[in-house]
Structure 1
Amino acid sequence: MTNGSTTEFYANSIEEQKNVIKTVVETVDGRVPVIAGVSHSGTRETVKMAKYVEMVRADCALVVPPYYHTPTVEALYRHYKQVADSIKIGVMVYNNPAVSGVLIDPALTQRFSKIENIVALKDNSPNAGDYAWKAALIDENDMVLLCGLGEMHYVGSAAYGLKYKGFVTFIGNFAPSISYDVYEAANEGDFPRAMDALKKLLPINELVGRFMKARKSPSIIPSILRGNYMYMSIGKACMGLTGLHGGPLRLPMETLTDEEKDELRNVLKRMGII
């Protein structure tokens, strides 16, 4: 998956986004499916990017609801329908209310699932009941359900009859073995083992919360529902500390301070990651 939130697509030019997608497709070279983000604040530009993603032979287009002005439910349906009708590859609906201001509820999800090439949902719902309702309502032959909020939410969503087939994680970029332990244990129904794996990640998650809390936010969204981009700052710093190329974040997001990087380095050492 590329050109999504952690890729900071919104801070990149259209040409940069296209270059990222093309590079990933060429590097993967058919070994695994490539899901590429095509999101924009308007339908027309979303369709343009979806057509580009299809042209370079990605397998699926990831689409977050249009941001800026909030569409009606019917306009949102028409947005996704138009994107899906414009291409022949799959479309993954991205329910990310923290960035779009829109919650795609179970009823709308079911409507989307009946559009032929809308094949999956990446679900960032903050509501545990939302996962349960979708798991009960959606025919898995129509739509694959994925948890977009990482390991902790996945363990909860996997408990709903294993209808959620996987999860998206920033941890996997620098500590994939821990992420896979969570995935494997939950899929085997071994939730005590899954919880043991989750506990290994608590020091990282604690830093995500604490580093964000140290920064004053102008958001009017209640803090319990607010997105926390600090996971990107920490994730990319972790990549750098483990010898990978995470790089700095672009404004308006913030890179960690030197003091925060030192604290993160000590946490990674205690976790045995470096």
Structure 2
Amino acid sequence: MAYEEAKKRFRGSISPVITPFHEDEQIDFDKFKELINWQIESGSHGISVTGTSGEPSSMTVEEREMVMKTACKTVNGRVPFIPGTGSTNHQETLRLTKAAQEMGADGALVIVPYYNKPNQHALYRHFKAVADSVEIPIILYNIPGRTAVNLEVDTIASLAKDCPNIIGVKESNKDFEHVNKVLLKAGRDFNLYSGIEVLCYPMLAIGGAGHVSATANVAPKEVAELYNKWEAGDVEGAQDLHFGLMPLNNVLFRDTNPAPAKAALGMMGKIKPVLRKPLDVPSEKIQHDIRNTLTSYNLL
């Protein structure tokens, strides 16, 4: 029953909050807490950290645990807290997912292991072992553009069937046929989240549970309102927001995420726009375009 309740609670705009750094690339925990509070005050329905937007692969495991703990305390039960706990390393994934449970996280977002390109049987064994190691709900995270391997529909369906606490998947997958088949084979009560900005609205239309959109870092109110309007039956209003957000979505992905989002938040006075190497700030041309776009949205 707890997992069915989680499926109902984990809906809407789950914001994948960036990790702010000082000039020396150390974590700026004060700004981090400010960002989380701003997200919740702006209407985000959930908070996730240490996902792609949070630069987890540039952090030590200990740093990831500190970021997760800080976020968990800051959220303080106001909205669901679902940190990213996946890694290319299986043992690290187990450690971080267990840590999420121990600190009181509501669930965990677990990415397909990146770089090592496991086959589908290996992915099944990896995710099943992670799910079996904890009792909190698990959301799979499929992002083939980053991991070089796609979590196939049949693998997702098998995991949904065999692991009661695997309740959904974040699909950063531009293959809309694939995401339709996820709900067909895993069941329409399986929580499907869009991780592709232009598909946030279309996934709601086929029965998705919401979205985990990097754009929410910059425009949390509008990204949350897209879900609110759809849920309220305001189809035209949701469509207007879908198309209205497109220019912002486009400029925030002119360079590798989260570089444009951090540049934007820097211009908005929220953080210092520092990324950990090997990432760096966008080019001057892209920053110029980001500034013009933010101005057009009255975000500056």
- TM-score with structure 1 setting the length: 0.85
Q: What one-letter code is carried by the residue in structure 2 that aligns with 1:171?
A: T
In 1, Cα distance between the equivalents of 2:170 and 2:209? 10
Q: What one-letter code is carried by the residue in structure 1 that aligns with 2:279?
A: M
Residue 241 of structure 1 aligns with which residue? 267
Partner residue of 1:130 out of 163, 178, 187: 178
Residue 93 of structure 1 aligns with which residue? 140
Contact 1:154 1:166 in 2 (8 A): yes
What are the superposed Cα offsets for residues 157-203 of structure 1, whole Å, 9 maximum, x if unpaired? 1221xx21100112222212321332233334544432321332233
Alignment of 1:178-217 (within 5 A): 178-208=222-252, 211-212=254-255
Residue 223 of structure 1 aligns with which residue? none
> Aligned-pair distance for 1:76?
0.9
> Aligned-pair distance for 1:267?
2.0
Residue 105 of structure 1 aligns with which residue? 152
Residue 78 of structure 1 aligns with which residue? 125
In 2, Cα distance between the equivalents of 1:187 and 1:138? 22
Q: What one-letter code is carried by the residue in structure 2 that aligns with 1:158?
A: L
Residue 217 of structure 1 aligns with which residue? none
Flag the 1:232–1:181 CA change in 2: closer, same or farther, 3 A.
same
Partner residue of 1:251 out of 262, 265, 277: 277
Gaps of 5+ in 2: 1-47
> Aligned-pair distance for 1:208?
4.1
In 2, Cα distance between the equivalents of 1:261 and 1:156? 29
Flag the 1:125–1:261 CA change in 2: closer, same or farther, 3 A.
closer
Moved more, 114-123 or 194-203: 194-203
What are the superposed Cα offsets for residues 218-246 of structure 1, whole Å, 9 maximum, x if unpaired? xxxxxxxxxxx2x4111112212222126
Contact 1:25 1:57 in 2 (8 A): yes
In 1, Cα distance between the equivalents of 2:112 and 2:75? 27
Flag the 1:206–1:87 CA change in 2: closer, same or farther, 3 A.
closer
What are the superposed Cα offsets for residues 33-79 of structure 1, whole Å, 9 maximum, x if unpaired? 21111112122221111111111111212111222222121111110
In 2, Cα distance between the equivalents of 1:73 and 1:266? 44
Identity %, equivalent residues: 29
Gaps of 5+ in 1: 213-228
> Aligned-pair distance for 1:93?
0.6
Contact 2:83 2:108 in 1 (8 A): yes
What are the superposed Cα offsets for residues 11-40 of structure 1, whole Å, 9 maximum, x if unpaired? 111111111000000111111221111112
Flag the 1:43–1:185 CA change in 2: closer, same or farther, 3 A.
same
For CA contacts below 8 A with separation 6 or more, give which structure has more relative contact order.
Answer: 2
Contact 2:167 2:191 in 1 (8 A): yes
> Aligned-pair distance for 1:258?
4.4
Residue 26 of structure 2 aligns with which residue? none
